[in-house]
Amino acid sequence: MALIVQKYGGTSVGSVERIEAVAEKIIKFREQGDDIVVVVSAMSGETNRLTALAQEIMESPTPREMDVLLSTGEQVTIALLCMALEKRGYGARSFTGGQVRILTDESHTKARIKEIDGSRIHAQLEQGNIVVVAGFQGVDELGNITTLGRGGSDTTGVALAAALDADECQIYTDVKGVYTTDPRVVPEARLLSSITFEEMLELASLGAKVLQIRSVEFAGKYKVPLRVLSTFEEGPGTLISLEEDSEMEDPAIAGIAFERDEAKLTVAGVPDVPGMAYKVIGPVSDAGIEVDVIVQNAAEDGTNDITFTVKRAECGRAYKILQDAAVSLGAKEVVQDKKVCKVSLVGVGMRSHAGIASKMFKALAEENINIQIITTSEIKISVVIEEKYLELAVRALHSAFNLGDPESAAESN
């Protein structure tokens, strides 16, 4: 008998009908003899409705009261789901974050979980009840209601699984799992049966957004086996685990992530003296602009070119900051390019497989795609290219590394 934590997001519980369908799904597991703890989000649309009410009053509502307000969304769902379970003859008990006691710090609207008391949940499981917990919320030391910020229900699920020492944490979503790349770009993209936490972190942060990144970090830290699967379709989903897949099928590459809407800024000809990178990047970061890829090349003349990427929407602001700073930096010029994108190969297998990078560059060269920036990490190679080539590049790489076909994937090593 296993203890399973299941998390259902807002779309999965978006109507009474869907809540009833989720109840049926939960019961299937229960009937297999497993103990089930369910974490749910607010019904889709509810958080937006409540936020709109608050903003009718204040543009930036008091964070403490915002948490009191928004936490009602999940509270409605836990009650309705328990009713749907009870109606089917299964004992069910709902808990708000405060009732469980999910203790957080005091950072309203973006609180972090400090501790979870599993005793009330364990007591209910021992009585044979299904336990339904409100995601996204907790209480601070003084009993004030806090929320973990948008998407925080994933974190609640993983944290509960860790605290209860669950055998698996299942995150139900509207996709069947994690794919080798976005199936909308590459129709033959393959559903991964497993992936490591590190790979998942790289894929998630690079745009294949299935799971909230904080919850993946959390699961990795507390060694909670995490499974992503679909609420609406049957299937085993993707297991995110600590160990690399030890089966024969051991491809170097787990998947291909990409990021559209990137922009590239180059500060050219800055003096080659210590502190220049900070002087260039510092003011941009200070303005709240997230800087992604950063590369620096020494030119022949003893000056440096510092290039980095930002979200396209923030390029204009970053460009202005750099132009204003150009003189004091002693830079020759500031150049912006708003039409770039980033494509990344991700896979822990890279560690033990040589030649991945050259194979990647060859595949892109064969399509005449010019690489503007290259950055590498232990389990990732990213290239920045002209945006119009995005789909072509992803498809070429997917094919070059045989990601679409499980049978021949092993041969690509």
Binding stretches for its own copies (CB under 8 A):
16, 19-20, 50, 53-54, 56-58, 61-62, 64-66, 68-69, 71-72, 75-76, 78-80, 82-84, 86-87, 92-94, 96, 98-99, 143-145
Which CB sits closer to its own copies, 64 or 122? 64
Cβ 271 to its own copies, closest distance in Å? Answer: 50
> Contact at 8 Å (CB) between 207 and 193?
no
Q: Which two tokens stand for residue 378?
A: 């232990």
Phi/psi region, residue 254 (left: phi>0; alpha: psi -120 to 50; beta: rest), is alpha
Cβ 100 to its own copies, closest distance in Å? Answer: 10
Cβ 99 to its own copies, closest distance in Å? Answer: 6
Which CB sits closer to its own copies, 131 or 229? 131
Which CB sits closer to its own copies, 81 or 322? 81
Cβ 215 to its own copies, closest distance in Å? Answer: 25
Cβ 165 to its own copies, closest distance in Å? Answer: 23
Cβ 155 to its own copies, closest distance in Å? Answer: 22
> Contact at 8 Å (CB) between 264 and 205?
no
Which CB sits closer to its own copies, 125 or 189? 125
Cβ 191 to its own copies, closest distance in Å? Answer: 33
Which CB sits closer to its own copies, 92 or 321? 92
Considering only CA atoms, which of 383, 365, 366 is closest in space to residue 374? 383
Which CB sits closer to its own copies, 143 or 187? 143
Which CB sits closer to its own copies, 45 or 330? 45
Cβ 322 to its own copies, closest distance in Å? Answer: 38
Cβ 101 to its own copies, closest distance in Å? Answer: 9
Which CB sits closer to its own copies, 11 or 205? 11
For residue 316, which amino acid is it? Answer: G
